[in-house]
Structure 1
Amino acid sequence: MGPMHPAARAEDAFNGALARTLSWRGFRTRVLTYSGYGSTRSARAMGRIVLSRPDAAEQPIDAMHATVLRGIRVFLAAPQTGLPVEITFGAATAKVSSDRGGYFDVDLTGHGLAPGWHHAIVRCAGVEARAPIQVIGDDVGFGIISDIDDTCLVTSLPRMVLAAYNTFVLPETARRVVPGMSALYRSLLAHNPGSPVIYLSTGAWNTQPIINRFLQRHGFPGGALLMTDWGATETAAFRSGREHKRSQLRRLAAELPNIKWLLVGDDGQHDPEIYDEFAAEQPGRVRAIAIRQLTVAQQVLSHGHPLSRDDGRESPTFKVEGADGYALFQQLAALRTLDTGVSHA
């Protein structure tokens, strides 16, 4: 491996100085856990080890802030690098070390647990936390993979000024939901019991507690969040959002080979292109693609100009487009490729 990118070295130096300062001030190790998923054979557990205020270390993550949050707080976390982490899930146990961002992402094979929601126990530096994990049955053949930004909630990304405003200034409770999306997902899962919904986003892991509360408050079904670290990598100053989505889609296809996916995104970034690529790479693994169309005003806010709806590509699978979840539901029902609960008689 070659030398580490200067941006990564600078980030590590900053995080190290921050950790020393917070440790001197009495901050303690805290285990943050994220929702995971898995099959009856293997499960995926994810989380992060950080330094936290002493009075917050024993509180669940959803209780550590007031009802109105300023997003900048969630980025002021000091990761703890190289700490040993032990994860137990049913009969499976794994031992790993937190990476340079404080994260861990581990497979737990041979857990022996039945389909449904269970909890993994995560231990680090004398601290214990529980990580919810959905075990998906071998008989489940349908699942939803959903983008978050401008698909579930209106963010006006990727314009950087607006993105910064939405992330660091806008109160959590003022964020707007995309109409009908939670109803669409609930209806599909009601008619496909045991099916997973995976929220796949290029957003930062730091915002995970805010996103979780938003989804819960607006009635979205529970599911794993697959986000990313906005920091530098060992080879680049910035991580690629597109590659994050591509790699996670391929991993889901490999780990859950029985599932045919409904891919849901928006036309404000690169979801149509990425989803079409995945459908072409994985023939028969995509039931349909559903794209939420941004309004002209939202397109201008996101890109500075309206976008063309037709990019000249022919999708390798069924594709529907609509302004919100209600429009997408009607078109998915008309396609007759999914069990939506709507009679076609």
Structure 2
Amino acid sequence: MSNRPFFAARVEMFIDRRAEQFFRSLGWTEQVIPYTAYGDDGFARVLARVVLSPTFSETQLGKVAEEFLARRGWRNFLNAACVHARYTIRLGDAEVHGTTDRGGYVDHRVRNHGSEPGWVMATVESGDSSAQVPVLVVNPDATVGMVSDIDDTILTTMLPRPFIAAWNSFIRTESARQAVAGMALFYDAFLTRHPGAPVLYLSTGAWNTHGFLRRFMRRHRYPEGPMLLTDWGPTNTGWFRSGQEHKRMSLLQLSVDFPHLRWLLVGDDGQHDPDIYSEFASANPHRVLGIALRQLSPAEHVLAHGTTEPLLEDEGPTPVPVVRAPDGRGLLQMARERFGLL
């Protein structure tokens, strides 16, 4: 059997290489886009992307255009991936080198960095560009953590799910997005009970929404945390990436990266979170504190998957506590009453 990537992946890389050559000829320059990363005292998983972007003028018109493009997400698409570009990462005592993948992404594990627990900065350099990447170094004394979904869990759009990314990226201003009532309070109560616990956000959303999501979370007082998003498009084995598989594999990777942590899994009942979380908890009951699911309204269910009811009426028996409520305050009350989690 051939080890060559799937046909669509090879076509994508061919197009990206030609696009990179063309835009370099127009004077576009390399830009390192940083993504929040995570690790512990032994490793750090540094995430970023290297792209070519146009250089905006320093005139007032240029600044206005820059603001418009950035805040509505247009600039995320005004770039070309730097395929197999060389990069250097510096973090604490460590310096490592590598090359981006065919989408221009950096996903590099840095060993023996010697950084103290808490938020630290890694530097990613490629060509003439560099960026500071925030890295959460988890305290080795931590025993619990939280993994949270994003869309319909901490923010709501009231749009059909297939259109959310396009609407957020091209049309809507960031200030128009709505936070789910009480969810920030729920997360704050969790961290009050478990100070120093890491909070990670796991979503099927695209990496180009990363900057918006960080600003949204700060504006609505959600705890800062690394995000594990995905890149849409062909993979080495098929035409499109599976969002469900992305979540399953990410949960498995977190269980390997942090074998001493037990996780509170937070999501919603609009798509496949109940099934994915129950499956993970059934296979790893000692690794899960509990599951908290936000219940969508009938209208939200229609927009999420086309019916007024959850996709899964009953995900079956789960060996860990499960609470459900329509908002964060309800989840907090249920968690306190049912199993004293918070």
TM-score, with length taken from structure 1: 0.90
Number of the residue aligned with 2:61: none
Runs (4+) of structure 1 exceeding 6 A deviation are: none
CA deviations on 1:259-282 (whole Å, 9 max, x unpaired) are: 111000001110010001111121
1-side partners of 2:207 and 2:101: how far apart?
A: 14
| Residue 127 of structure 2 is aligned to residue 132 of structure 1 | no
Q: Counterparts in 2 of 1:288-327, with a 5 A limit?
A: 288-308=290-310, 310-311=313-314, 313-327=316-330
SS at match of 1:65: helix
Identity of aligned residues (%): 42
One of 308, 322, 334 as aligned partner of 1:331: 334
- For structure 1, which segment, 304-313 or 247-256, has the greater mean C-alpha deviation from structure 2 after superposition? 304-313
One of 218, 226, 251 as aligned partner of 1:249: 251
Q: CA deviation at 1:85?
A: 1.2
2-side partners of 1:232 and 1:206: how far apart?
A: 16
Q: CA deviation at 1:286?
A: 0.5
1:124–1:161 distance in 2 versus 1, CA, 3 Å = closer
- For structure 1, which segment, 302-311 or 23-32, has the greater mean C-alpha deviation from structure 2 after superposition? 302-311
1:72–1:147 distance in 2 versus 1, CA, 3 Å = same
Number of the residue aligned with 2:96: 94
- For structure 1, which segment, 265-274 or 302-311, has the greater mean C-alpha deviation from structure 2 after superposition? 302-311
Aligned positions, number: 334
Q: What amino acid maps onto 1:97 in structure 2?
A: T
Q: What amino acid maps onto 1:18 in structure 2?
A: A
SS at match of 1:235: coil
CA contact 2:70–2:76 (8 Å) conserved in 1: no
2-side partners of 1:316 and 1:56: how far apart?
A: 58
- For structure 1, which segment, 266-275 or 6-15, has the greater mean C-alpha deviation from structure 2 after superposition? 6-15
Q: CA deviation at 1:26?
A: 1.3
Number of the residue aligned with 1:30: 31
- For structure 1, which segment, 6-15 or 222-231, has the greater mean C-alpha deviation from structure 2 after superposition? 6-15
Number of the residue aligned with 1:5: 6
Q: What amino acid maps onto 2:26 in structure 1?
A: R
| Residue 232 of structure 2 is aligned to residue 216 of structure 1 | no
SS at match of 1:299: helix
Q: CA deviation at 1:154?
A: 0.8
CA contact 2:54–2:79 (8 Å) conserved in 1: no
CA contact 1:146–1:263 (8 Å) conserved in 2: yes
CA contact 1:84–1:97 (8 Å) conserved in 2: yes
2-side partners of 1:126 and 1:167: how far apart?
A: 27
Number of the residue aligned with 1:194: 196
1-side partners of 2:261 and 2:204: how far apart?
A: 23
SS at match of 1:26: coil
- C-alpha RMSD over aligned residues: 2.2
1-side partners of 2:68 and 2:171: how far apart?
A: 15
Number of the residue aligned with 2:47: 46
CA contact 2:165–2:206 (8 Å) conserved in 1: no
1:289–1:158 distance in 2 versus 1, CA, 3 Å = farther
Q: Counterparts in 2 of 1:85-164, with a 5 A limit?
A: 85-156=87-158, 159-161=161-163, 164=166
CA deviations on 1:263-308 (whole Å, 9 max, x unpaired) are: 0000111001000111112121110100001000111122221124
Q: CA deviation at 1:30?
A: 0.7
1-side partners of 2:267 and 2:319: how far apart?
A: 16
1:15–1:295 distance in 2 versus 1, CA, 3 Å = same
Q: Counterparts in 2 of 1:266-281, with a 5 A limit?
A: 266-281=268-283
Structure 1, unaligned stretches of length 5 or more? 58-62, 341-345
Q: Counterparts in 2 of 1:64-75, with a 5 A limit?
A: 65-66=67-68, 69-75=71-77
